[in-house]
């Protein structure tokens, strides 16, 4: 059975992706690639005729695709518009047609996030809120403390897809450097770092 794999399945904008065909039948009259889950003539990118070893471009050809005799299709300089489903249409010597499809995702590299804090100098047992500001909707947010992955304690809460970290009450062991890191399947960026100083306040401790 013919299977197609996108290499890589998650591709950064402006990079290349190869639609790699496995188990292409040997005796094919022709095969053609289409944009979308279709074999409509205006969606044809390119076609290859094995007997004559010739290839032809179709109406959906952008100038960035290369079709190979092994069935594969290479995209160069991928754009967000290229994301989606592609169909390989195979015609055997008896003019029977079969199709196989493949999909890939295109991502823009994330931009650097910006870390904000309510106050960098905090009295012990007060609270502090750190906010990771990012333009990249849906990106994954991680928190770092002194360049290591932050271990959450019961005094810490994360909200709004992890973009807001609240520490309440804060303790002396929370002093140090904080950063947030955002990532998607093709890129990762770290924010500026914020150093928190914790002031010991003897007045707070009279109540205990």
Q: What percent of the chain shows pLDDT beyond 70?
A: 97
Determine contact, residues 73/54, Cβ cutoff 8 Å. Answer: no
Q: Is the pLDDT of residue 204 over 70?
A: no
Distance separating alpha carbons of residues 189 and 155, to the nearest angstrom: 27
The pTM for the full model equals 0.74
Q: Is the pLDDT of residue 208 over 80?
A: no
For 143-167, the pLDDT digits (tens) are 999 999 999 999 999 998 899 999 9
Question: Which residue's structure tokens are 């496995």?
Answer: 22
Closest CA to 190 of 158, 157, 144: 144
Determine contact, residues 127/120, Cβ cutoff 8 Å. Answer: no
């Amino acid at each position: 059975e013919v299977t197609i794999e996108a290499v890589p399945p998650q591709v950064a904008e402006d990079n290349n992706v190869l639609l790699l065909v496995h188990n292409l039948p040997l005796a094919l009259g022709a095969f053609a690639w289409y944009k979308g889950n279709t074999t409509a003539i205006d969606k044809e990118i390119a076609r290859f005729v094995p007997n004559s070893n010739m290839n032809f471009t179709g109406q959906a050809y952008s100038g960035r695709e290369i079709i190979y005799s092994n069935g594969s299709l290479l995209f160069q300089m991928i754009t967000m518009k290229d994301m989606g489903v592609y169909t390989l249409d195979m015609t055997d010597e008896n003019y029977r047609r079969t199709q196989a499809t493949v999909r890939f995702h295109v991502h823009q590299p994330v931009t650097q996030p910006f870390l904000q804090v309510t106050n960098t100098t905090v009295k012990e047992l007060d609270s502090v809120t750190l906010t990771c500001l990012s333009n990249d909707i849906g990106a994954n947010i991680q928190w770092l403390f002194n360049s290591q992955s932050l271990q959450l304690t019961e005094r810490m809460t994360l909200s709004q897809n992890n973009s807001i970290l609240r520490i309440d009450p804060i303790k002396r062991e929370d002093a140090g450097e904080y950063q947030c890191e955002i990532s998607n399947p093709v890129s990762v960026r770290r924010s500026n770092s914020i150093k928190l100083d914790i002031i010991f306040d003897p007045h707070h401790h009279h109540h205990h």
